[in-house]
Chain A
Amino acid sequence: MKKKLLSCILAAVMALSMVACGGEAAPEAGTTSQSTEKTEVSKEEAAPAADVAATDLEPVTLKMYFHGSNVTDDSAVLDAVNAYLKDKINVTLEPVWGTWGDFDQNAVLSLQGGDDIDIYFTCSWSADEYNKFARDGYWVRLDNPDNNLIAQYGKELWDLLPEVLINGATVNGADGYGVYAIPGYKDIATQNCWDVNVTLLEKYGYTVDDIKNTDYYGFEEILKTVKEGEGADFYPLLVEGAVLERMVDNVTIVTGDSGTGNFMSYYLNPSDLSKPGAYGNKIVNKFATDEFKKFVEQTRKYYEEGFIDPAMGNKTQANDTRTNKQLSGQYLIGTQSYSLGYELQASQERGIHVEMVPCTDAFVDTTSSQGAMMAISTASKNPDRAMMFLNLLNTDPALMTLLNYGVDGIHYNTNADGTITFTDKRADYQPWTNGMGNVTILPPTDAQGVDFWDGFKAYYGTAKEIPILGFAYDGSQTETQMGAVANVVSEYMLSLCTGTVDPAEKLPEFLQKLEDNGINDIIADANSQLDAFMESKGQ
């Protein structure tokens, strides 16, 4: 009994000491905020002269929240980065390595809670969605006429970015129409392609040209031959329902639409993407068009003939199944949103010959141009220093390489031809390359080859800007309808787009329900916003 008592007391003491440890964090936080206040005062004197030497600047610590990191040991990198930054802009960087798993939840909480983080990763598809959070006032407007941070501290960076990126980043936010984040220069274009398993195709005496020369509505014969040859358990058409619909109908996502189940469409002009499409510069109800009806009827036909795996109609299962079938080469034609070099990588991973057959040329829309961005939080005490840092990061190859690839000689080695080869240490320090900003100033890796970035710039540099680039729908006036419609879309869309239900019965039911829940209000609202946007863009 005595022993038991003793152990209880011990445990209690331990607990108490731990609570005390936790308590200590509070005063610490207090002191840092004090010191930052101090810098704020002195900053005002330093502000007018932008090109001051690093030693004249007050030392500050910048916290930066990254997405998709896989970092277990950043000490070597941070030592080097901070030594470098001290000389350049007298900044100490404190990265927060958000991972694929926790970023969405934690970054949003940290923003809502007003944490003292200076720079956040943001984009069109993460939970701290660029456009919405800009409207709600979370991001500092960077080209604010009263305090133009880009003009003061980010000129080099701004001159270096392609125009499409700047156009895509200019949106309606809390402080008016402007730029609220620095877009990263990465794979910024969208190009939907048929992902063709050429190995299998040639087995049945066809060539890639047979795919190129026809379209979705002409696949039937090929699919049928291969299905018959491969057996009942083989499903030649491997589709992601939502992507398939966009590919076949040549439409693009309207940014600001409801998450994964989009219901607004902008029709592209496949012959010249920079011109208005079939419906002009208008947003339409995706499901009410003749094109959509024709598409779902054809898809249903393919489904009934056994060309599409029924698993593609189940939201939570579709992705897993699709990935598995891709990697084991169990498909003939798939849907793919292309990025440069994808066919080589895919061929290698899957052990088959993969080719991409594009449906349209590459184009830049709002969603793709906002694929990875860095925004300065309005909670930041040092927005101007944050901008200085972002400018340096995006223009200085040494810093970008250091932060992205690690330390030369530790995480990678430089080869004679200028490419780099990663070492084993890279496993401990692997931030998400594309999530960091301008990746074109990085050295090419040995896998990419010496002239990778030239090809990269050539491909993405020629991508066309669609007419409504930069437009993002603001649903704040129609939230009630948006919610109800999103739920209806989630009920019908995927099963229609993969053919698992009969459109003759379900499509009219679906359209009726959409109307009852107010989709027309949203479309009307979106079009009036688009008209206003086009007008302000034209000026």
Chain B
Amino acid sequence: MKRKRKINSISIPAEIACHIVLILFCLLCIVPFIFVVIISITSQDSIRAIGYSFFPKEISMEAYSYVLKLGDQLWRSYFNSFLVTVLGTFLTMLMTILYAYALYRKDFKFRGFFTFWAFFTMLFGGGLAPTYVVCKTVLGLSNSYAAIIVPMLLNPFNIIVMRTFFHSSIPEELIDAAAIDGAGEYRTLFKIIIPISKPGIATVGLLSALAYWNEWFIPMLYVRDAKYYPLQYLLMQMQTKVDFLVKNSSMIGAEASNIISTLPSDALRMALVVLIVVPIACAYPFFQRYIVSGLTIGSVKG
């Protein structure tokens, strides 16, 4: 394998050029995050004196200790986020693959209809209030893990991308061959198609895992019981509270300025970002294994 890559790889200058471009871009991507980390450990006095800076006057862990005051709730929320992400991604992938596979099949009689059925919702939606009413009163989604997972199970974008992955990586003869062998539709999908579509599945899986992990809006709408709060919502609540108080302090009065003066507000904002990003960034390589390893799996033939 190694030898083969060598024969068919790009020239060394070209590769160096690639590295330079990518390194520059990656710096652009990672430096802001480093900036966030630095501010999260900057003391509020330093921010008040010299503003956001790469070189703070004084280091402080105040923001993190403030978050840690949440105590058990913090760990509970970490667990909730983890559970919602794993379970949600699994269900999402299952439904997305099934839906996308049927759409990929040119010989599926209702292909056009169901493609449109999914795609149309990407453009038109009822808006927030009607969706809220349907979820809450018609489907009874409130205060449960289901209330967080169900509203975001499917995304037409993912379905269409998944279908495209099937298109570009599965030769049609493969399905015909499987049909001749007498394999059932489900058996073909799970035993033949899924194993050779790993890069696509891992990609879409990654995207939906990120979506579940980052979601705070849906829990805000449907969950009132702190028992079910995912991390992102818990932290978002802290942040919106700070922002709201700063913005409306003149209307709320003395109480607001009292809270603001005791909050490490700026560092806190950044610490919250760090707490959210680090776990999911650690999960990233897991998906990546399937995405970059690429070339070795592509060569299955019918």
Q: List the interface of chain A (C-beta within 8 A of B).
A: 8, 11, 14-15, 18-19, 21-26, 29, 68, 72, 96, 99-102, 105-106, 109, 112-115, 123, 125, 186-187, 240, 243, 319-320, 323-325, 327-328, 330, 336-337, 339, 341-342, 345-346, 349, 371, 432-434
Contacts and interface: CB of A to CB of B under 8 A. Distances in A.
29 contacts: A8-B90, A18-B146, A18-B149, A19-B150, A21-B144, A22-B142, A22-B146, A25-B141, A25-B143, A25-B144, A26-B139, A29-B137, A96-B224, A99-B241, A105-B220, A109-B132, A112-B129, A243-B250, A320-B246, A323-B246, A323-B249, A324-B47, A325-B48, A339-B253, A339-B254, A342-B254, A342-B257, A349-B258, A349-B261
A21 B142 CA distance: 10
A221 to B, nearest CB: 28
Nearest to B70: A72
Contacts of A339: 253-254
Interface residues of B, number: 55
A441 to B, nearest CB: 18
Contacts of A123: 251
A102 B150 contact: no
Contacts of A100: 240-241, 244-245, 248
Given A14-B87, A22-B139, 17 more contacts: A11-B90, A21-B146, A22-B140, A22-B144, A22-B147, A25-B140, A25-B142, A25-B143, A101-B236, A102-B237, A109-B129, A115-B136, A243-B250, A320-B266, A328-B45, A342-B257, A345-B254
Contacts of B188: none
B239 interface: yes
B27 interface: no
10 interchain residue pairs of minimum CB distance: A101-B240, A22-B146, A26-B140, A100-B244, A328-B48, A25-B140, A349-B261, A324-B48, A113-B133, A337-B250
B183 interface: no
Contacts of B144: 18, 21-22, 25
A18 B140 CA distance: 12
A436 to B, nearest CB: 12
A72 B129 contact: no
Contact of A109 (B90, B141, B143, B221): B221
A107 to B, nearest CB: 12
Contacts of B239: 101
B59 interface: no
A125 B251 contact: yes
Nearest to B71: A72
Contacts of A432: 252, 255
Contacts of B251: 123, 125, 371
B291 interface: no
Contacts of A18: 144-146, 149
Contacts of B249: 319, 323
Contacts of A327: 48, 260-261
B49 interface: yes
B252 A319 contact: no
Given A22-B150, A100-B241, A101-B239, A319 B253 contact: no
Interface of B: 45, 47-49, 73, 86-87, 90-91, 128-129, 132-133, 136-137, 139-147, 149-150, 220-221, 224, 226, 236-241, 243-255, 257-258, 260-261, 265-266
Nearest to B224: A96
A102 B146 contact: no
Nearest to B249: A323
B140 A29 contact: yes
B250 to A, nearest CB: 4
A243 B249 CA distance: 13
A341 B241 contact: no
B260 A72 contact: no
A337 B73 CA distance: 37
Contacts of A324: 47-48, 266
B252 A68 contact: yes
A189 to B, nearest CB: 11
Given A72-B73, A113-B137, A434 B245 contact: no
Given A96-B224, A102-B240, A319-B247, A349 B257 contact: yes
A324 B249 CA distance: 13
A109 B128 contact: yes
B142 A15 contact: no
Contacts of A15: 87, 90-91, 149
A101 B248 CA distance: 12
A29 B24 CA distance: 57
A26 to B, nearest CB: 4
Nearest to A7: B90
A433 B259 CA distance: 13
Contact of B246 (A19, A319, A371): A319
Contacts of A342: 254, 257
Given A19-B150, A29-B140, A113 B132 contact: yes
A101 B244 contact: yes
B146 A19 contact: yes
A113 B136 contact: yes
Nearest to B226: A72
A125 B240 CA distance: 17
